[in-house]
Amino acid sequence: MSKILYLSIALAAYLLPTLAFASGVEPYQFGFQDAASPVAERLHDFYSMLFYLCVFIVVLVAGLLLFIILRFNAKTNPEPSKRTHNTPLEIIWTVIPVIIITIIAVPSIKLLYYMDRTEAPEMTIKVTGYQWYWGYSYPDYENIEFLSYMIEDKDIDPSKGQQRLLSTDNVVVLPINTNIQILVTAEDVIHSLALPAFGIKIDAIPGRLNETWVRITKPGTYYGQCSELCGARHAYMPIEIKAVTEEEFEQWLNEAKEKYALNTMSSSSIQIAQTQ
Ligand SMILES: [Cu+2]
């Protein structure tokens, strides 16, 4: 019996951090979305490391507790020791937690700096949060600018692969294998740009420009949502990103320059609002 229990705990410990489904969002999904950027890969590795460390600590503490219960209960140990100090023991239980914290802190801080910014961005995209939609601009490409709204339930077309609460009318297209600087701000209240597959979650704050970056490793459609309670339609301002090859991106740029030229009205009104 105990062997089966031990085996199932070991199996769960092995499988839990690795359980993840294909990229995107699955019903009843358990575990992370597949990593689609080096940041997300490192975050997942860090998570796994922490998970195994936690398993080690739980096993150690539970084992010690069990040992003490069995070895030092009133029956097996009727004459309790009157000892109040044990210097070697005190050193051990101070040093081991310090080592554990160092094991966590060093890669954690390294990762924090890695996520912060890319040193040599190849392109920039600016994301602005509004109540309740997102605005995107590509300052490197003749200021392509557009707003992106969620597609309402009644208009969702599953034949086009659209997903309820996640698909948007204007999809953000980005090239893969490119260091993309992402500048994030908001116009009205605080929003938060969250893209699990890229390991991104960054606040969009009015009057402040936050920065992060992504290097998308594989083509596909990625979804995100606003992650800061921003009002009545907070749940209805998804982010939809289509990652394509560099050639396809060039092609899209040509189309986008024409398509979003019609948006000059809304773009210029955004600019006016931003300079106010
Ligand atoms: Cu929001």
CA of 234 to the centre of ligand 1 (A): 5
pLDDT at 24: 64
Residues 62-76 have pLDDT tens digits of 999 999 999 999 999
pLDDT of residue 193: 97
Question: Which pLDDT value is given to residue 161?
Answer: 87
- Are 107 and 186 contained in the same domain? no
Same domain (yes/no): 111, 129: no
- 40: domain range? 2-116
Q: Are residues 79 and 182 in the same domain?
A: no
Contact indicator for 217, 39 with CB cutoff of 8 Å = no
Structurally, the chain folds into a number of domains equal to 2
Question: Which of 69, 91, 116 is the last residue before a domain boundary?
Answer: 116
> Same domain for 136 and 204?
yes
Which of 74, 99, 116 represents a domain boundary (last residue)? 116
Q: How far is the CA of 79 from the centre of ligand 1 (A)?
A: 64
Same domain assignment for residues 108 and 137: no
The b/e string for 131-140 (b: 16+ C-beta within 10 A; e otherwise) is: bbbbbbbbee
Residues 31 and 154 in one domain: no
Q: Which pLDDT score, from 0 to 100, does residue 12 have?
A: 59
Specify the pLDDT at position 250. 94
- Beta bridge pairs of residue 184: 127, 210
pLDDT at 167: 93
Same structural domain, 248 and 179: yes
How are the residues of the chain apportioned to helix, strand and coil, as percentages rounded to the nearest 5? 45, 20, 35
Summarised one tens digit per residue, pLDDT across range 122-177 is 999 999 999 999 999 999 988 799 999 999 999 998 898 888 999 999 999 999 99
- 258: tokens are 């024409």
**What CATH number corresponds to the domain at position 82?**
1.10.287.90
If you measure from the C-alpha of residue 238 to the centroid of ligand 1, how many angstroms do you get, rounded to a whole number?
Answer: 9
Output the pLDDT for position 129: 97
Separation of CA 165 and ligand 1 centre (Å): 14
Mark whether 110 and 163 lie in a shared domain.
no
d(CA 61, CA 75): 23
CA of 36 to the centre of ligand 1 (A): 23
Residue ending a domain, among 85, 116, 147, is 116
How far is ligand 1, taken at its centre, from the CA of residue 203, in Å? 10
Distance 188 CA to ligand 1 centre (A): 10
Both 97 and 201 in one domain: the answer is no
- Kindly give the distance from the C-alpha atom of residue 268 to the centroid of ligand 1, in angstroms, as a whole number: 22
Side chain identity, residue 230: C
Whether residues 154 and 196 share a domain: the answer is: yes
The ranges of the chain with pLDDT < 50 are 16-22, 265, 267-276
The reply to whether 129 and 243 lie within a common domain is: yes
